[in-house]
Amino acid sequence: MKIILKYTGALNSTTDVKDKQRVRDCFHRQLKRVWEAQGDNILKGVRETPWSSNETVDKMFVPLVRKEHDLRVKLDIDILKDPARKSNKQFDLDNKLKTLFDCLRIPNTPQEMQRIQEELVEVPYFGLLQDDHLVEAVSIRKGDWMFAPDEQEGKHHNEMHFFIFIKAHIYAASRNELNENFPLGAAI
């Protein structure tokens, strides 16, 4: 499965629920369109059993990549900023990435689910990851966004452009297959 997600805007290194939810909403809309366009084909070649949008967590959230499907993802992230952006603060990459990963996953604690329930734009709500531990590898490229700001769309110099190239794959053979091929105590 290969998907490209895009987010344009400020990505604050914060724990503010509303900021994160704004970014999640952006990803939800894109992932919903992917699901509507591709349906069961979205995981073709990655997963052998049919996938249903009814596979939700607490009947509200639909993560495309889940632990029980033995899927992991590799993320290639391009972060582009306006070269005219003037900032006295250093670019806080590690905390921005933590925020981004939080936004790519569905809420994973009852407290977090309860805090954002009223913020949901619709149900079911699509997310990429059940848990951010399903991210196997990350590569990051930073660069300059060389297009002039579009004032009609309200673009500002402090906005950044994130292009997230996602590749999902099966993590490993099942435990039963490993035990059949490499029984405990057997010489390798």
Does residue 188 fall inside a structural domain?
no
Domain interval for residue 165: 2-176
Q: Residue 61 above 60 pLDDT?
A: yes
Q: How many domains does the chain have?
A: 1
pLDDT band, very low/low/confident/very high, at 149 (cuts 50, 70, 90): low
Q: Residue 55 above 80 pLDDT?
A: no
Does residue 106 fall inside a structural domain?
yes
Strand order, beta sheet including 135-144:
2-9, 160-170, 71-81, 135-144
Does residue 122 fall inside a structural domain?
yes
- Between strands 61-65 and 2-9, the pairing is unpaired
Which DSSP letter does residue 188 get? -
Q: Residue 18 above 70 pLDDT?
A: yes
The pLDDT tens digits of the residues spanning 130-146 come to 998 999 999 999 988 87
| Residues with Cβ within 8 Å of residue 180, at least 6 apart in sequence | none
pLDDT-above-70 percentage for the chain: 69
Q: Residue 73 above 60 pLDDT?
A: yes
- Between strands 135-144 and 61-65, the pairing is unpaired
Does residue 141 fall inside a structural domain?
yes
The pLDDT tens digits of the residues spanning 39-52 come to 656 555 444 444 45
In the chain, which ranges are E strands?
2-9, 61-65, 71-81, 125-129, 135-144, 160-170
Q: Residue 26 above 70 pLDDT?
A: yes
What is the reported pTM?
0.76
Does residue 162 fall inside a structural domain?
yes
Does residue 185 fall inside a structural domain?
no
Does residue 16 fall inside a structural domain?
yes
Does residue 187 fall inside a structural domain?
no
What number is the average pLDDT over the span 7-19?
81
CA distance 104 to 182: 36
